[in-house]
């Protein structure tokens, strides 16, 4: 099976994570209009203060 999720925001990432729990063998593709990887806006203050690295903001 190959799942395609339209969007790459937090809800899409949550859907992909849930699908992965249900089906660990299938391919999952997220399609979004963003030029960068999906990131958590809630993590930005921690990144700016140096508490986490940039990789810590990725969803």
pLDDT-derived band at 20, boundaries 50, 70, 90: very high
Tell me what the mean pLDDT of segment 18-46 comes to. Answer: 91
Confidence of residue 9 (pLDDT cuts 50, 70, 90): confident
Q: Is the pLDDT of residue 59 over 80?
A: no
The pLDDT of residue 36 is above 90: no
Share of the chain above pLDDT 90, in %: 64
Q: What is the pTM of this model?
A: 0.68
Question: Hey, what are 51's tokens?
Answer: 């508490």
The parent domain of residue 49 ranges over 2-57
Number of domains present in the structure of the chain: 1
């Amino acid at each position: 099976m190959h799942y395609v999720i339209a969007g790459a925001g937090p809800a899409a990432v949550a859907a992909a994570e849930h699908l992965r729990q249900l089906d660990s063998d299938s391919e999952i593709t997220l399609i979004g209009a963003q030029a960068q990887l999906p990131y958590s806006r809630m993590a930005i203050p921690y990144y700016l203060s140096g508490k986490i690295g940039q990789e810590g903001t990725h969803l």
